[in-house]
Amino acid sequence: MNHPRGPEGAPRHYHLLWDEELEALRPVLGLVLEHLAEVIDHWYRLYVLHFGDRRSLSEPEFRDLFYNALSRNTKDLLEGDMDRYAIDTIRTGELLCERNVPFAEIVASLHLYEESAYTAFPKDPQPPLEIYTAFDKLSHIRMILLADAYFRSASASAGARIQALERQATLLARENRSIFHGLVGSSSAMRRLYDRIEAAAGTRGTILIVGESGTGKELIARAIHECGAVPMAPFVALNCAAIPKDLIESELFGYRKGAFSGANADYLGLFRAAEGGTLFLDEVTEMAPETQSKLLRAVQERSVRPVGSTKETAVDVRLIASTNRDPEAAVRSGNLRQDLYYRLQAGVLSVPPLRERSEDIPLLVEHFIEYFNEKLQPRIPVRGIEEDALTAMVEYPWPGNVRELSNCIEAAFTFGRSPMIPLHDLPAGLSGNRPGKHPLPQTLAREPEQSIGTFADAERELIARALKSTDGNKVQAAALLRISRKKLYAKIEKYGL
């Protein structure tokens, strides 16, 4: 695993790290290993702070995966065994791919690890600058190994997935499809979406997917890619809302060694990582306007200029973007550049929210029960859901869409102890919404003349709840209430909300 030797005869690992630099790192690596639990605690706090509810790993998964991986890695380095270090890091990359952690999240998380590891470095006296530089080189080696393992695993998984999907497609007539490239639903709205996905896959033009949070926009982007002419080519996804805005440009276009502090080696960037395939930019309206301008140029010119470079590199990448905003409203508010929108609007796919296709909920429930039985391996396998629980789910408006439904089923697996999911194992906000679930208090039963409030009071409360459930997003709140935005604005003004 060592690369050619330098002038002094000492090996240089992956063109980056000399043996004497690795030796110089031993004291700080020893401290990292000694304080590993504290480093992981700090790292997880940063992970939650940066990614919030969008993070892919739960706390137990995060700690189990990274504590064991870093413990092995650090011991390998202290023993000077770079071959064993490479093997262990490659295995970590495979595990991250198996758990469907987006690659962009991995890159950002490793930046957070560096910050966490520095907490274990001695404070007085502080290590010389050369130690931090060597540690940065080691981080780049880790990324080289992780990226190679991750994309090899992703390519192998994609091949197996596509073969399975092709077999599945031959078994169902077009008008009977209820599952399509991981999307679930047999409603007319979903079947129209399947047709539009296949039509979009027939070209290499840019696509904009518009839909509320939790509707499965990345699954739709993958379906477009997999239905295309080169399904085995790379599919690279970046959640623009999960990466600090000042890092997105270098993640997309790459950078040259020395372009900025800490850039100790060339970095390819996600555009070139997706060469020949698809780059999916989730929540593109969260990207800074100046970066959107450079993105538009890259799409139009089919070339990218890495940060710190004076030359452009040709790329062959199909761009798919998504947003949970109304695109025209985003243009007016300055969150989406008008020229980029004009480029994207040639191919727009609108994703129906779950409340508009409630007939698909039983299918989705069945799908997620099967999925979590396989993923979680519960001691008591779940066979299905009780009738009143399913009725509650069909009647619920699902402001969080399919993602919320998935989380609901997972919670029932986590806390339930029954082969059939009962109503009381569903989240309280959902099971408590059913009319007639709780009897009226005795005081109300005896005193029917007691005031229950006016219609206006009830309407005001309903609108306030809709605004709260959508974090103040008036477009989503109007859709949730099934009224026009103009009417919602009038009600907000009327009730002083």
**pLDDT attached to residue 466:** 73
Stretch 264-277: mean pLDDT, rounded?
Answer: 86
Residues whose CB falls within 8 Å of the CB of residue 471, separated by 6 or more in sequence, listed in order:
none
Q: Is residue 66 part of a domain?
A: yes
What average pLDDT does this structure show over 81-108? 82
In a domain, 272, yes or no: yes
Q: Quick one: pLDDT at residue 359?
A: 94
* Shared-domain flag, residues 17 and 134: yes
In a domain, 372, yes or no: yes
Residues 383 and 463 in one domain: no
Give the residue, 321 or 242, on which the prediction is more confident.
321
Give me the pLDDT at residue 439, please.
40
Identify which of 49, 52, 40, 60 has the alpha carbon closest to the alpha carbon of residue 414: 60
The mean pLDDT of 14-25, rounded to a whole number, is 80
Angle, helices 26-34/59-78, rounded to nearest 10 degrees: 150
What average pLDDT does this structure show over 244-254? Answer: 84
Shared-domain flag, residues 337 and 206: yes
pLDDT given for residue 133 in this prediction: 85
Residues 376 and 400 in one domain: yes
pLDDT digits 0-9 by tens, 20-34: 888 888 888 888 888
pLDDT digits (tens, 9 = 90+) for 116-165: 788 888 877 888 888 888 888 888 888 888 887 787 776 655 554 545 44
Rounded to whole angstroms, the Cα distance separating 335 from 338 reads 9
CATH classification of the domain holding 229: 3.40.50.300
- Between residues 428 and 284, the one the model is more confident about: 284
Q: Identify whether 445 is part of a domain.
A: no
pLDDT value at position 175? 60
Query: Which of 15-29, 168-182, 228-242 is the most confident on average?
Result: 228-242
As a whole-number percent, the residues of the chain with pLDDT over 70 amount to 81
pLDDT in the model for residue 435: 45
Name the percent of the chain lying above pLDDT 90.
28
Examine the domain organization and report whether 76 and 9 are in the same domain: yes
233 with 283, same domain? Answer: yes
Position 1 scores a pLDDT of 45
Number of folded domains that form the chain: 4
With respect to residue 87, please indicate whether it lies within any of the assigned structural domains: yes
Domain boundary among 314, 337, 352: 352
Looking at the fold, whether 112 and 186 belong to one and the same domain comes out as no
User: What residues contact residue 276 under an 8 Å CB cut-off, 6+ apart?
Assistant: 230, 233, 234, 316, 317
- CATH number of the structural domain spanning residue 474: 1.10.10
pLDDT tens per residue across span 396-417: 999 999 999 998 998 888 888 8
Assess whether pLDDT exceeds 80 at residue 233. yes
- Amino acid code (one letter) for 221: A
Q: Are 492 and 473 a contacting pair, CB within 8 Å?
A: no
Q: What CATH number is attached to the domain comprising 397?
A: 1.10.8.60
Does residue 231 share a domain with residue 94? no
For residue 19, give the CATH number of its domain. Answer: 1.10.490.20
Residue 422 forms part of a structural domain: yes
Instruction: Quote the domain boundaries for residue 464.
Output: 455-495
Q: Which of 157, 15, 23, 29 is nearest to 93 (CA)?
A: 157
Exposed / middle / buried, residue 43 (Cβ in 10 Å: 0-12, 13-18, 19+): buried
Kindly tell me if the per-residue pLDDT of 112 is higher than 90. Answer: no
In this structure, the answer to whether residues 190 and 332 fall within a common structural domain is: yes
160 falls within a domain? no
Inter-residue contact 241 to 287 (CB < 8 Å)? no
Q: What is the predicted pLDDT for the residue at 438?
A: 40
Q: Mean of the pLDDT values across residues 202-206?
A: 90
pLDDT at site 12:
63
- Lowest mean pLDDT of 58-72, 98-112, 368-382, name the range: 98-112
For residues 346 and 371, state if they share a domain.
Answer: no
Query: 381: pLDDT confidence band, cut at 50, 70 and 90?
Result: confident
Q: Exposed (0-12), middle (13-18) or buried (19+): which is 230, by Cβ within 10 Å? A: middle
> Could you please report the per-residue DSSP string of 149-167?
HHHHHHHHHHHHHHHHHHH
Confidence band of 262 (pLDDT split at 50, 70, 90)? low
441: in domain: no
**Is residue 375 pLDDT above 90, yes or no?**
no
User: Residue 59: pLDDT above 90?
Assistant: no
418-457, pLDDT tens digit by residue? 899 999 888 877 765 444 444 433 333 333 444 445 666 6
Based on the domain organization, do 202 and 348 belong to the same domain?
yes
Confidence (pLDDT) at 64: 83
Chain position carrying tokens 């490793």: 110
Confidence class of residue 486 from pLDDT cuts 50, 70 and 90?
low
Looking at the structure, tell me whether residues 335 and 370 fall in a common domain: no
Number of C-beta neighbours around residue 450 at 10 A: 8
Residue 137 structure tokens? 């080189």
Tens of pLDDT along 297-344?
Answer: 999 999 999 888 888 989 999 999 999 999 999 999 999 999 999 999
Please provide the average confidence, as pLDDT, over all residues in the chain: 81
pLDDT tens digit string along 450-459?
Answer: 444 566 666 7
